[in-house]
Structure 1
Amino acid sequence: MASIDLLIKDDDLDLSAIGEPLLVSGGDCVAQDLRHMIREKAYAFKLIGERNPTTISALCTDIEIQMENDERVYPGTASVALNGDSLMCEAQTVFGERITVTV
């Protein structure tokens, strides 16, 4: 199953020099979809200013579960950690690619 989608950069379609939408595929497509899932489900918003380690850990676990619900992510490979101001998400795709998403 091939993953192909429109490429989104800076919250807008990325266009070629002649104005056609660019495409993203494979692991890059999965990474883009995971980045959007984190934003759409408000995980990034919930982590802003959160200081309680238990709440942070629970939110990271929720993100891992959501990542592994994606059929393109190999089960058991998702990991999420909050490093300073960045949320680092890593997983292995069923295509054999290692993806890293930073939010």
Structure 2
Amino acid sequence: MTYQDILIENGDVVLDAGRNPVLIQDRAVIAQDIKHAIIESGLAVALIAERSRSKRRDISTQIELLVEEDMRLVPGTVRLEEPKEGVIYVFAKTIDFGELNLTVDVEKNRG
């Protein structure tokens, strides 16, 4: 185990049955960090607010570049999909932990 963190869902710490924080490791920590970086950047909200196709592509590129900054990922492996408005799928390969797949649901993460 290289990375460990507390699991956060919808802005809250997730607790187990004993009311202790749930811990996550390695790939899950990287995914959580990337998800929070996207949400905190405001780019996901900007993406769903934008109607211009070219500006939406520009914002998607900005999100991709933001994710690419994570040193724990293999450069050039980041791919984004937006299957429906307000939902972004992020696919990448980590250097030490294999494939990474995460979902950013903007509506669930607005605060």
Is TM (by shorter chain) over 0.5? yes
Moved more, 33-42 or 8-17: 8-17
| Residue 10 (structure 1) aligns with | 10
Normalising by structure 2, report the TM-score.
Answer: 0.84
Say whether the 8 Å CA contact 2:74–2:93 is kept in structure 1.
yes
Note if 1:63 corresponds to 2:72.
no
Normalising by structure 1, report the TM-score.
Answer: 0.90
Alpha-carbon offset, residue 23 of structure 1 = 0.9
Say whether the 8 Å CA contact 2:5–2:24 is kept in structure 1.
yes
| Residue 41 (structure 1) aligns with | 41
Count of matched residue pairs? 103
| Residue 90 (structure 1) aligns with | 91
**Percent of paired sites with the same residue:** 32
- SS of the residue 2:49 aligns to: coil
Unaligned runs of 5+ in 2: 105-111
- How far apart, in 1, do the equivalents of 2:82 and 2:51 lie? 11
Alpha-carbon offset, residue 5 of structure 1 = 1.0
Say whether the 8 Å CA contact 2:4–2:26 is kept in structure 1.
yes
Unaligned runs of 5+ in 1: none
- How far apart, in 1, do the equivalents of 2:61 and 2:49 lie? 18
- How far apart, in 1, do the equivalents of 2:5 and 2:70 lie? 15
Alpha-carbon offset, residue 11 of structure 1 = 1.4
Alpha-carbon offset, residue 74 of structure 1 = 0.9
| Deviation >3 Å, runs of 4+ | none
| Residue 108 (structure 2) aligns with | none
